[in-house]
Structure 1
Amino acid sequence: MADEPSPDGPAGRPGTSDLRGFWRWIRAWLVAPDRGNARLLILGVVAMTIAQVVIQIRFNTWNRDFFDALDKRNAQAFQHQIIVFLVLAALSMTAAVYQLYLKQLLQLSWREWLTRRLTDAWLRDCRQYQLEACAAEADNPDQRIAEDVRLAADLSVDFVLGLLISASMLIAFVGILWSLSGPLDVALGGIALHIPGYMVWAAVLYALIGSGLTWWVGRPMVGIQVRRTTAEADFRFGLTRARESGESIALIRGEADERRGIDRSFGQVRGVWRELMRSQRNLMWLTSAYGTLAMIFPTVVAAPAYFAGAMSLGVLMQVGAAFGQVQASLNWFVDRFPNIAEWRSATSRLVAFQDALDDLEALAADPNQPTIAMEEIAEGEPERLELDQLEIAFSDGTTVIKGASAVIEPGERVLIKGESGSGKSTLFRAIGGLWPWGGGRIVTPPREAMAFLPQRPYLPLGTLSGTLCYPAPAEAFAAEAQRDALERVGLGHLADQLEEEQRWDRVLSLGEQQRLAIARLLLQAPRWIFLDEATAALDEENQDMMMTLLVESLPEAAIVSIGHRPGLEAFHTRTLTLEKREGGARFRRTAPRVVSEKTKRRRARFLASRAA
């Protein structure tokens, strides 16, 4: 996306470049026109945070007054402090509830914006196909958009809010702790030291030691989290693929092999989880000891002043509470390290995903890159399909078609043949704008005048009517026209099921799916039709019937077919044959085959049945 931030670092590896890339996303969100009420939500969260800090400061002074009342056995003061506590507790709960609610709204807003931006970049200009074809470092885009975006958005807001709270608490309570702790006079090696606000320095030293040890012990967790997320995504993909291919697996009795593959995938999940568990175990030893010592550390440090009579029990409790707030603020890194590792993993995968999308866009936009130039016929000019010195390569640079040139005029019917591996289907993708790798030029008719039928048609989720009219909305065609189209392709038994919602890609056989795709063409009547083995699941007689129906119903449409089955030549005015040669396949023009008597008889029977 041209208007999107582009991460700078190497894909798939967490680093400062990942953090910069993600920070640029945040800045883009805050200034984007479609950010919604993000700024108001941020102000609301900040306001609730400030309220929480103010309440905690008041709780700190309450802590002193409450324990002083106990120490002096002052029942009246004790009862008053109970009332103060209830009021403060009510205010604190209200601020906490609304802070959580506004924070969740902010997380949802950020996730929605980021999901929309990544989805728009992915499902644009054939990027979703190109990404699968060339970008192995950006695998499982569904996992990245669904899961990694959620983690990155939720944890980002949590971290920023946590840092805001910690910084506010630190600023507020450092002053309180400094004024309460007083100076400390010590002698080291005959040198007298006067340390003002020594409790503050004790808290800072304690937090620095804990943070340093946490980073040292827990730093492997970031890389482990990246591998864990990838292994989980691969495992989920294997399960989904086995579910989607259940029929094929069952027919060839491939369950044992599928189990072995899934076991291997889960073995990778298990292995990386064991690494993560060992890392978490080591970190838990440290954080557990650190947290346990923090329970008595401030009291032990302040005890000499209390025993010397320099502070009351209430002040000792106040000092302990203030020390706890300062230490908790400084310990933000220690407490959040496992979540930071998870966040870095999600961020790294998202930045790698965006990197791959940006690389594809840069490939298309850079005039110096050797890519196929796609041009659309200008309005008012005669339509045509022109291949001009077309070179098609794989993403690794291997040339599959070299120097292909041809011009197809409106109304022509051209069959493209060639042995397996000669690049027929890749040519089909290049004409459709899916395949940028290569060189030369393709001039196409207007995109809205073109329709492409691959061997396995895409049947979206929803009603049969929506599936039949796709990509147009179901209401674009009258129900009677839809039923008529189904009747004409031999799917009349489905005419009464237009409003039923089913998984039609599972209900219909592949042959029925191909008939349904022909029915789409009859409804939409495109001027240019491109078929890639679009009748391969039909027997020869039914293939002839569908091709005859297409030619008779759309006589003005140009048809470009890719196929190798006998009888297809009869429905085309000329043939282009791709011949494999060193350096890439090339076109060899052949004359169209004469229509056989057998084909003529089948066509006559089909036309007679339509007339009846």
Structure 2
Amino acid sequence: MSDVTAAGATGRPGTSDLRGFWRWVRAWLVAPDRGKARLLIAGVVAMTLAQVAIQIRFNTWNRDFFDALDKRNPDAFQYQIMVFLVLAALSMTAAVYQLYLKQLLQLAWREWLTRRLTKAWLHESRQYQLEAGAAEADNPDQRIAEDVRLAADLSVDFVVGLLVSITMLIAFVGILWSLSGPLDVVLGGMSFHIPGYMVWAAVLYALIGSGLTWWVGRPMVRIQVRRTTAEADFRFGLTRARESSESIALIRGEADERRGIDRLFGEVRGVWRELMRSQRNLMWLTSAYGTLAMIFPTVVASPAYFAGAMSLGVLMQVGAAFAQVQAALNWFVDRFPSIAEWRSATSRLVAFQDALDDLEALAADPEQTTISMEETKEGEPERLELDQLEIALADGTTVIAGASATIEPGERVLIKGESGSGKSTLFRAIGGLWPWGGGRIITPPREAMAFLPQRPYVPLGTLSGTLTYPSSAESFDKDKQVDVLERVGLGHLTDQLEDDQRWDRVLSLGEQQRLAMARLLLQEPRWIFLDEATAALDEENQDLMMTMLIDSLPDSAIVSIGHRPGLDAFHTRTLMLEKREGGAGFRRAAPRVVSERTRRRRERFLHRRMPV
């Protein structure tokens, strides 16, 4: 079973980034929700071809303009100025709309990819399972927000740039071939006739530049991956310090937090220095390459000009055509730093998708050893049944082994055990969050169950939306919302139901736990699962909350995890988790008989007003 869990916890580093990303491209182009993707692509291609056609016309204009200057012909010169203005207007129009359509395409591609990854991430507890076991998919927020943006934007940029380069190359190679003519070279007494020699010079120049660029810049891909990871870790450290600001301040932990943040930034600084050195080395090459390119075509073509075989205008046209061919062939050289950044973002996204796919495969493959989750079949009495349940950590360590129990509707069962016996992990397994292990769990229908962890989730938005979560605020009458708040002792908040605040900061943990209890009173689930859900309340308020819950929902089953002795009085049965060699298991306790004293105590609490 440990082999299975290891496979489910990590991505597949051997997966090809390009192949993985190409899967997304194909999926997007055929997806029903692709929007106007194909129309936008067609528009970008059309604007690109228009720009290429204008550049071809500019090339012939270049010849005619300089010939007019060479012949000192003012009429031809003025005419060429008018031609230039028209071409410039067309070129600007094509460039503006190509950019606009390209940006629309980038946004559409990013939106689709973000929705796809978010849907896969926030699906059947995958987001929790990744945090628990998938080390290869750290910082999913960074991957979805930043890496998707980079991957989408740069992908479209690369495709459009490659399209421009290919069409420019096709168009201007013919022009350059026809203009440059042959070159006769004598070496060692042997004569060589080279047709279209300027084309071969451009190809040779670009090949040398591309080869040197790859050789000098290849470490950048690896460094960019490390840089992105270091930046994500640093941002996570800052976010964690902000979210835990109260706890840090109370224990005076600022100095330690600064040391941790300094360490994380040290990783950022170190990897940036590596990247800067790599970019510096590459800049030496590209700067020299670009500077030589300014004069290289003129030098190569100058013998024909001095021999009178071409005019000044033709020389300038040859230089412009050479520059276009060279620019097309230099696509790799010019974009190598961006390619390294794109590979980094793509590599992280593919690893993220691989981790999600592993979890999906783990759940779907019948041969994999995982916890089998089943819902009570229609027509059968609802129940919670643990059948030879084995629960393991993501690394394969077994924490619960061979646990079996059945809980019937309306029962109130307390699960106890010493720290580390696996109580909270059992809670997650029952909720379907924890796939690692074996055996079977039969649960009531998911819509009949409600789970309250020790720290309730408090979403962003109004207090009304927080109270009714995950249902909408409109799902429950406002009078009923006010009533349940008053019943749990939060009556002082009833006039703030429509206030939009960070309620996770406004409310204390005890108030958040009361708010979670109010949700139960609204939703009235048939099965309630509590994991230390009253731990932040004093014993008196805990007893009152439990009493109110039982009397308000008398037919609902309650399964609690807790340590306080006072909880025993509110449950009719206890399941004790005992640590054993090979994994904890249940030791059954005798059914609990509620004493007359406890019954009177509950009645007394029921008729008292909940203190604020």
- State the TM-score bracket (shorter-chain normalisation): over 0.9
Q: CA deviation at 1:596?
A: 6.5
| Amino acid across the alignment from 2:110 | R
Over residues 421-446 of structure 1, what are the superposed CA-to-partner deviations in whole Å (9 max), with x where a residue is unaligned? Answer: 00000000000000001111000100
Alpha carbons 2:10, 2:135 under 8 Å: kept? no
Over residues 172-218 of structure 1, what are the superposed CA-to-partner deviations in whole Å (9 max), with x where a residue is unaligned? Answer: 00000000000000011111100000000000000000000000000
- Distance between the aligned counterparts of 1:11 and 1:274, measured in 2? 29
Instruction: Work out whether 1:382 is the aligned partner of 2:381.
Output: yes
Instruction: Work out whether 1:52 is the aligned partner of 2:78.
Output: no
* Within-5 A mapping of 1:505-520: 505-520=504-519
Over residues 459-481 of structure 1, what are the superposed CA-to-partner deviations in whole Å (9 max), with x where a residue is unaligned? Answer: 00000000000000000000000
Aligned to 1:313: 312
* Within-5 A mapping of 1:482-521: 482-521=481-520
- Distance between the aligned counterparts of 1:337 and 1:481, measured in 2? 62
Instruction: Work out whether 1:127 is the aligned partner of 2:118.
Output: no
Q: CA deviation at 1:58?
A: 0.2
Aligned to 1:3: none
Aligned to 1:18: 17
- Distance between the aligned counterparts of 2:260 and 2:609, measured in 1? 50
Runs of 4+ in 1 over 6 A off after TM superposition: 10-16
Q: CA deviation at 1:595?
A: 4.7
Aligned to 2:244: 245
Over residues 156-177 of structure 1, what are the superposed CA-to-partner deviations in whole Å (9 max), with x where a residue is unaligned? Answer: 0000000000000000000000
Alpha carbons 1:541, 1:602 under 8 Å: kept? no
* Within-5 A mapping of 1:447-458: 447-458=446-457
Aligned to 1:407: 406
Aligned to 1:7: none
- Distance between the aligned counterparts of 1:377 and 1:89, measured in 2? 72
Over residues 542-592 of structure 1, what are the superposed CA-to-partner deviations in whole Å (9 max), with x where a residue is unaligned? Answer: 000000000000000000001111111111110000000000001011125
Alpha carbons 2:301, 2:315 under 8 Å: kept? yes
Aligned to 1:582: 581
Q: Percent identity?
A: 87
Q: CA deviation at 1:380?
A: 1.8
- Distance between the aligned counterparts of 2:86 and 2:34, measured in 1? 37
SS in structure 2 at match of 1:567 = helix
Relative to structure 1, is the Cα distance of residues 416 and 611 closer, same or farther in structure 2, using a 3 angstrom cutoff? closer
Relative to structure 1, is the Cα distance of residues 129 and 361 closer, same or farther in structure 2, using a 3 angstrom cutoff? same
Q: CA deviation at 1:13?
A: 8.9
Q: CA deviation at 1:608?
A: 2.2
Instruction: Work out whether 1:322 is the aligned partner of 2:282.
Output: no
* Within-5 A mapping of 1:197-216: 197-216=196-215
Alpha carbons 2:572, 2:593 under 8 Å: kept? no
Over residues 84-122 of structure 1, what are the superposed CA-to-partner deviations in whole Å (9 max), with x where a residue is unaligned? Answer: 000000000000000000000000011011101100100
Q: CA deviation at 1:597?
A: 7.5
Over residues 51-76 of structure 1, what are the superposed CA-to-partner deviations in whole Å (9 max), with x where a residue is unaligned? Answer: 00000000000000000000000000
Q: CA deviation at 1:11?
A: 7.6
Instruction: Work out whether 1:168 is the aligned partner of 2:167.
Output: yes
| Amino acid across the alignment from 2:124 | D
| Amino acid across the alignment from 1:328 | A
Q: CA deviation at 1:137?
A: 1.0
* Within-5 A mapping of 1:287-306: 287-306=286-305
TM-score if structure 1 supplies the norm length?
Answer: 0.97
Alpha carbons 2:489, 2:610 under 8 Å: kept? no
| Amino acid across the alignment from 2:265 | F
- Distance between the aligned counterparts of 2:346 and 2:572, measured in 1? 55
- Distance between the aligned counterparts of 1:334 and 1:478, measured in 2? 64
- Distance between the aligned counterparts of 1:564 and 1:601, measured in 2? 23
- Distance between the aligned counterparts of 2:597 and 2:442, measured in 1? 38
Instruction: Work out whether 1:90 is the aligned partner of 2:89.
Output: yes
- Distance between the aligned counterparts of 1:140 and 1:596, measured in 2? 52
Over residues 363-407 of structure 1, what are the superposed CA-to-partner deviations in whole Å (9 max), with x where a residue is unaligned? Answer: 111111110000011222111111111111111111111111111
Q: CA deviation at 1:454?
A: 0.2
- Distance between the aligned counterparts of 2:314 and 2:269, measured in 1? 52
SS in structure 2 at match of 1:50 = helix
* Within-5 A mapping of 1:103-118: 103-118=102-117
SS in structure 1 at match of 2:285 = helix
Aligned to 2:563: 564
- Distance between the aligned counterparts of 1:16 and 1:393, measured in 2? 27
Aligned to 1:4: none
Aligned to 1:530: 529
Aligned to 2:79: 80
Aligned to 1:284: 283
- Distance between the aligned counterparts of 1:85 and 1:342, measured in 2? 38
| Amino acid across the alignment from 1:492 | G
Higher alpha-carbon deviation: 381-390 or 600-609: 600-609
- Distance between the aligned counterparts of 2:465 and 2:597, measured in 1? 38
SS in structure 1 at match of 2:442 = strand
- Distance between the aligned counterparts of 1:382 and 1:132, measured in 2? 35
SS in structure 1 at match of 2:607 = helix
Q: CA deviation at 1:609?
A: 2.2
Alpha carbons 2:11, 2:358 under 8 Å: kept? no
Relative to structure 1, is the Cα distance of residues 181 and 216 closer, same or farther in structure 2, using a 3 angstrom cutoff? same
Gap regions ≥5 residues in structure 2 = 1-8
* Within-5 A mapping of 1:345-364: 345-364=344-363
Q: CA deviation at 1:604?
A: 3.3
TM-score if structure 2 supplies the norm length?
Answer: 0.97
Q: How many residues align?
A: 604
- Distance between the aligned counterparts of 2:253 and 2:361, measured in 1? 42
Aligned to 2:431: 432
Over residues 335-385 of structure 1, what are the superposed CA-to-partner deviations in whole Å (9 max), with x where a residue is unaligned? Answer: 000000000000000000001001111111111111000001122211111
Alpha carbons 2:391, 2:398 under 8 Å: kept? yes
Aligned to 2:69: 70
Alpha carbons 2:488, 2:610 under 8 Å: kept? no
SS in structure 1 at match of 2:35 = coil
| Amino acid across the alignment from 2:221 | V
Over residues 117-148 of structure 1, what are the superposed CA-to-partner deviations in whole Å (9 max), with x where a residue is unaligned? Answer: 10010000100000000011110000000000
Aligned to 1:6: none
SS in structure 1 at match of 2:588 = strand
- Distance between the aligned counterparts of 2:375 and 2:10, measured in 1? 34
